[in-house]
């Protein structure tokens, strides 16, 4: 008995010391533990949430890099992640068809925010184009919405979210100017985009491009052989120089187009970052897009 009491204290101290070092790893000095958990669909929205949430928010993302949201199938683990979050951030406007089947299974306590819904949309292939974030000015509307929902969920963090959002919004404003300056190097008559999927209407409107066509529709449906032939004809007559391909799509259809219309193939990113991790976050992605477009069309 005496021996047991004697040995219990050091063991307790050791346990406390281990717990202390565990907590130190979890929360570095001066940084708060996350107070909110937010789940997003794509990595770009996770980046926005991290920029605004800082250390107060744990951010989970459902889709990995290089994954196509238009064709994604949910896993049971996705629903677990959503249900342990206070907030679910998604685009809406039909961008994430996989969500429509599970939204009724999402716990009522999870606040759902469709980042693009309610903003003025452009129509592509007879439906609203959901890819608003590819215009950095509209991406700022997403960031403001994220700031507002985080502040409503965690009023104590509101000042931090406001400050983080203000800094990031300024970076997005600077990015917009940077892209405009890059694009100015392309003669206006050469500002023509032919892409894998029809996602660039907002980008095109903002920077004075004409979208000549896309191999896949805005909802990523594959073209029929006759549609593909029409696209090749269109590309030739418009004098298009390049086909912009996105990593989340199969490019076999595009290969036929490239061969027959004699096009350069240039990577471009829209819904998903490259799976090799070579481009991190929204700003780096948009900068890579602008640089690639300029080098192909100048």
Select from 44, 175, 183, 199 the one that contacts Zn ion (CB under 5 A).
Answer: 199
Residue whose CB is less far from Zn ion, 160 or 271: 271
Q: How far apart are CA 111 and CA 90, in angstroms?
A: 11
Q: Closest distance between Zn ion and the C-beta of residue 30, in Å? A: 40
Q: Closest distance between Zn ion and the C-beta of residue 131, in Å? A: 6
Q: Closest distance between Zn ion and the C-beta of residue 134, in Å? A: 9
Q: Could you say whether residue 271 binds Zn ion (CB under 5 A)?
A: yes
Q: Which residues pair with 213 in a beta bridge?
A: 194
Q: Could you say whether residue 78 binds Zn ion (CB under 5 A)?
A: no
Q: Closest distance between Zn ion and the C-beta of residue 69, in Å? A: 6
Q: To 5 degrees, how large is the angle CA 153–CA 157–CA 158? A: 80
H/E stretch holding 124 reads strand 123-124
Q: Closest distance between Zn ion and the C-beta of residue 122, in Å? A: 14
User: For 218, which DSSP code?
Assistant: T
Residue showing the smallest CB distance to Zn ion in the complex: 271
Beta carbons of 101 and 87 less than 8 angstroms apart: no
Residue whose CB is less far from Zn ion, 142 or 161: 142
Total residues at interface with Zn ion (CB under 5 A): 2
Q: How far apart are CA 131 and CA 42, in angstroms?
A: 12
Stretch that binds Zn ion, among 76-84, 143-151, 195-203, 285-293 (CB under 5 A): 195-203
Q: Could you say whether residue 154 binds Zn ion (CB under 5 A)?
A: no
Stretch that binds Zn ion, among 101-109, 148-156, 194-202, 208-216 (CB under 5 A): 194-202
SS3 state of residue 289: helix
**Radius of gyration of the CA atoms of the chain, in A:** 23
**First-to-final CA distance of the chain:** 85
Residue whose CB is less far from Zn ion, 85 or 121: 121
SS3 state of residue 274: coil
Q: Name the residues that contact Zn ion, by CB under 5 A.
A: 199, 271
């Amino acid at each position: 008995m005496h021996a047991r009491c004697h040995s219990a204290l050091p063991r307790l101290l050791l346990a406390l010391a281990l717990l202390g070092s565990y907590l130190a790893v979890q929360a570095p000095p001066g940084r708060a533990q996350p107070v909110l958990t937010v789940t997003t669909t794509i990595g770009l929205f996770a980046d926005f949430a991290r920029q605004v949430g800082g250390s107060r928010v744990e951010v989970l993302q459902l889709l990995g890099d290089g994954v196509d949201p238009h064709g994604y199938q949910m896993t049971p683990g996705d629903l677990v992640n959503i249900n342990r979050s206070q907030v679910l951030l998604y685009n809406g406007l039909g961008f994430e068809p996989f969500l429509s089947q599970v939204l009724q299974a999402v716990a009522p306590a999870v606040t759902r925010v469709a980042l693009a819904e309610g903003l003025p949309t452009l129509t592509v292939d007879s439906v609203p184009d959901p890819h608003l974030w590819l215009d950095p000015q509209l991406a700022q509307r997403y960031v403001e919405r994220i700031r507002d929902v985080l502040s409503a969920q965690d009023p104590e963090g509101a000042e931090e979210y406001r400050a983080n959002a203000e800094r990031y919004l300024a970076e997005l404003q600077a990015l917009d100017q940077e892209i405009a300056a890059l694009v100015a190097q392309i003669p206006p008559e050469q500002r023509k985009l032919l892409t894998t999927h029809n996602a660039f209407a907002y980008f095109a409107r903002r920077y004075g491009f004409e979208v000549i066509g896309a191999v896949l529709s805005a909802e990523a449906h594959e073209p029929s052989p006759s549609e593909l032939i029409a696209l090749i004809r269109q590309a030739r007559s418009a004098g298009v120089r390049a086909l912009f391909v996105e990593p989340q799509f199969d490019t076999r259809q595009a290969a036929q187009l490239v061969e027959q219309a004699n096009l350069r193939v240039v990577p471009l990113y829209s819904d998903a970052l490259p799976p090799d991790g070579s481009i991190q976050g929204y700003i780096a992605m948009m900068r890579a897009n602008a640089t690639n477009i300029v080098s192909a069309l100048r």
